[in-house]
Structure 1
């Protein structure tokens, strides 16, 4: 799959939101020259695809992660908070985004409630989204998320930028999953030029 097909339209969508709050935030954060390369589980932007596989293998042997459905993602069950019921268990699927040189430039993530069902609206993605947003703010402290309207669809992206690290919570595509993408803006902006 050619990731440029997905990265470029997302970047164009975000960047064309008139000299908006988003554009100003990108410029301000990139001007700081702060490098935030840490992701999670010791993974970082700039690592090789083999580094990613090796770390996943190690975490799998420790029974921290497993393979997701269709082996397209790595599966991690988020720990429950104090007094939280098992029905609130959240699964995070993730997989690195790599450039042509097999260097990690981002991370695709999906979140869903293990107890999700079509008829149980308490566990639908619109209820999960604020929980995911809070978790991401906790894992990646710094700036808050801003709302970025997508003109073509009237949908909202939630975007958080800290230095070169951009986190995008995409508009909900299903009742089940919340899709998140973490990108290294140094790579995205260089690709655009």
Structure 2
């Protein structure tokens, strides 16, 4: 953050600090073109397969504050994941997600492990944009992109 450089770009023309009305309109247009579809619950689904070895879905929905995007939680999952398919295990997906994010945003991730060794998170910071990657479940990888310059309060939208 000391660089005073803002990095607001996320993906598909979506950015940190994008206002909610613009975000919903933009996603509506991408939905009409078949780029985005409905995911589970309020999640938005994007077929990110072009960046991965196997068919991969990305699910996302931003957190807003003062009607602007301050954080983008996402999760990735192989479309054909199954417990018995070693080729589609979450450890492979983590590596592919990190590679896709490096392709999208450049740079490298730093591996951070909790003191007891139970949790591992890969972190990358570009100016105000922090990206965290970690295993969410047996089948999915979480990515959280946060605007570090956004104030700490939360707003529901």
Tell me if both proteins adopt one fold, taking TM over 0.5 as the criterion: yes
Q: What is the RMSD computed on CA atoms of the aligned residues? A: 1.9
Per-residue CA deviations over 1:135-185 (Å, capped at 9, x if unaligned) read 0000011x3100122236631110011111100002x23211000000011
SS of residue paired to 1:154:
coil
* In the alignment, structure 1 residue 68 sits paired with structure 2 residue 32: no
Structure 1 unpaired stretches of 5+: 1-29
Could you say which structure has the larger radius of gyration?
1
Aligned residues: 153
Structure 2 unpaired stretches of 5+: none
- Considering fraction of residues, name the structure with more strand: 2
- 8 Å CA contact 1:89, 1:115 repeated in 2: yes
- Considering fraction of residues, name the structure with more helix: 1
Q: TM-score, normalised by structure 1?
A: 0.74
Give the structure, 1 or 2, with the largest relative contact order (CA under 8 Å, sep 6 or more): 2
Q: 2:47 aligns with which of 77, 80, 85?
A: 77
Poorly superposed stretches of 4+, deviation over 6 Å: none
Q: TM-score, normalised by structure 2?
A: 0.90
Cα distance in 2 between the residues matched to 1:68 and 1:166: 25
Per-residue CA deviations over 1:100-157 (Å, capped at 9, x if unaligned) read x12100101110111101111221211110000000000011x310012223663111
